[in-house]
Homo-oligomer: A and B are copies of this chain.
Amino acid sequence: MKKITTPTLLLDEAKCKQNISRMVEKAQRNRVKLRPHFKTHQSAQVGEWFREQGVEAITVSSLQMASYFAHHGWTDILVAIPVNLLEIDTINKLAAKVKLHLVVVNMEAISVLEQLLLQPVYIWVKIDTGYQRTGVLPHNNTDLDPMMQHLFESGKFYFEGFLAHDGHTYKQTDRDAVKAIHNTTVYLLHLVRSRYTHLFPDILLSIGDTPSCSMLENVAAVDEIRPGNFVFYDLTQQHIGSCTYQQIAVCMACPVIARHPERNQLILYGGSVHFSKDSLITEDDTVIYGQVVALTADGWSAPVDGLKLVSLSQEHGVVSASEEQFRNYEVGDLLYVLPVHSCLTAVAMKRYLTLEGEWLEHLAGLPVGSFN
């Protein structure tokens, strides 16, 4: 491997490709379309690994990401955030070259788009099935009826279907709870669909969170799934039950810069600007920012007992160690840490180093303003 001297995000290509193929196969078994969310990796090269496994349609969370992946040959792109009307110029540019799918949650967006679009776009109406972040409530016919009527009458839109994001599965830690959330969402989406089949006979349903798509075998009640985090997974997903430790495909390498025997703590060069600030509460009520693993011949181990990343400031990390583990590390060593939230860690780190020593790109590592 390349000589690592500063905090570096390692990527285990084999694990990552297995994570991809596992989801591709689940989608095939369920006869649903996999439209993976690329906001987790934001990497042209990782995108190619999906393409190699037959994936053709993707999800992103900004028009900048859409432009980036369009540049890299993706032609069927859903921007899964309520459309930002201020970016109409980018929308028109993108819609001229790819199948651009936008999300709307209100009539205002539909009206403005209708006025300003230069060519038709594919439209999804987002339904709030319980996460309560955004989306139209499923029984809110007062808003939905005119929206759907307008989408039907206008020549600017190809209405695709109803879309939901069960972000509340992230608060769960058992399969039955995730299944209950999924079933509710499926019930509500079917209900909404049935109300508008007289306008649109082929309404699609799309859902998207990694916990549901990982923990449930049966996701056949929808037409499309849009998980993203599964490409890498992380400690949050392991905590929820979406993955095993062994499936986590990214890991931070950080230099040890100080040792404090009086309190068995190791100080890492690696802080919130590297890991991001997301944390996790463990069973013994400790707040952690990462778990330490050991490097092995072909990757890394499961978390080592007695070592936890317990605090982050801008550039420093503090690892609490058992007395036994503390003795194993010297100043100048590298310490390897599984991240709590791989999406944010990847954004912060801006590139990946594979175990084979190859640097992979991340959109955040390009000069600022790229694809804006």
**B-binding segment of A81-89, A212-220, A291-299:** A81-89
**B-binding segment of A68-76, A194-202, A363-371:** A363-371
- Assess whether B5 is in contact with A87, with CB atoms less than 8 Å apart: yes
With both chains docked as a complex, state the minimum distance between the C-beta of A352 and any C-beta of chain B, in angstroms: 10
Could you give, for residues 198-232 of chain A, a 1 whenever the CB lies within 8 Å of some chain B CB and a 0 otherwise? 00000000000000000000000000000000000
Q: Which chain A residues numbered 50 to 90 have a C-beta less than 8 Å away from chain B?
A: 61-64, 81-87, 89-90
Identity of the chain B residue whose Cβ is nearest the Cβ of A350 in the assembled complex: B368
A105 within 8 A of B: yes
Copies per assembly: 2
Q: Which chain A residues numbered 29 to 50 have a C-beta less than 8 Å away from chain B?
A: 39
A257 within 8 A of B: yes
Most buried by B among A106, A137, A313: A313
Could you give, for residues 249-285 of chain A, a 1 whenever the CB lies within 8 Å of some chain B CB and a 0 otherwise? 0000001011110110001010011001110000000
Most buried by B among A257, A272, A332: A257
A356 within 8 A of B: no
Q: CB within 8 A of A332: which of B112, B132, B347?
A: B112
Q: CB within 8 A of A84: which of B133, B269, B344, B372?
A: B269
**Alpha-carbon gap, A242 to B147, bound state (A):** 49
- Assess whether A367 is in contact with B369, with CB atoms less than 8 Å apart: no
A314 within 8 A of B: yes
**Alpha-carbon gap, A123 to B255, bound state (A):** 20
With both chains docked as a complex, state the minimum distance between the C-beta of A256 and any C-beta of chain B, in angstroms: 9
Identity of the chain B residue whose Cβ is nearest the Cβ of A109 in the assembled complex: B331
Identity of the chain B residue whose Cβ is nearest the Cβ of A260 in the assembled complex: B134
Q: CB within 8 A of A276: which of B85, B134, B277, B367?
A: B277
Residues from chain B with Cβ under 8 Å of A61 in the complex: 314-315
A149 within 8 A of B: no
Total residues of chain A contacting the partner, CB 8 A: 65
With both chains docked as a complex, state the minimum distance between the C-beta of A327 and any C-beta of chain B, in angstroms: 14
Q: CB within 8 A of A267: which of B39, B82, B362?
A: B82
A304 within 8 A of B: no
Residues from chain B with Cβ under 8 Å of A331 in the complex: 85, 106, 108-109, 112
Q: A39-B315, A112-B331, A132-B263 are in contact. List 5 more A-B contacts (CB 8 A).
A: A5-B87, A6-B64, A277-B277, A350-B368, A351-B369
Q: Lowest 7 A-B CB distances belong to which pairs?
A: A365-B368, A277-B277, A5-B86, A82-B257, A350-B368, A85-B332, A82-B258
- The 27 sampled A-B contact pairs (Cβ below 8 Å) are A4-B86, A5-B84, A5-B86, A6-B63, A39-B314, A62-B269, A62-B315, A81-B269, A83-B257, A85-B331, A86-B255, A86-B332, A105-B258, A106-B258, A106-B259, A112-B331, A112-B332, A132-B263, A133-B313, A134-B258, A134-B267, A134-B316, A272-B278, A273-B344, A314-B343, A364-B368, A366-B368
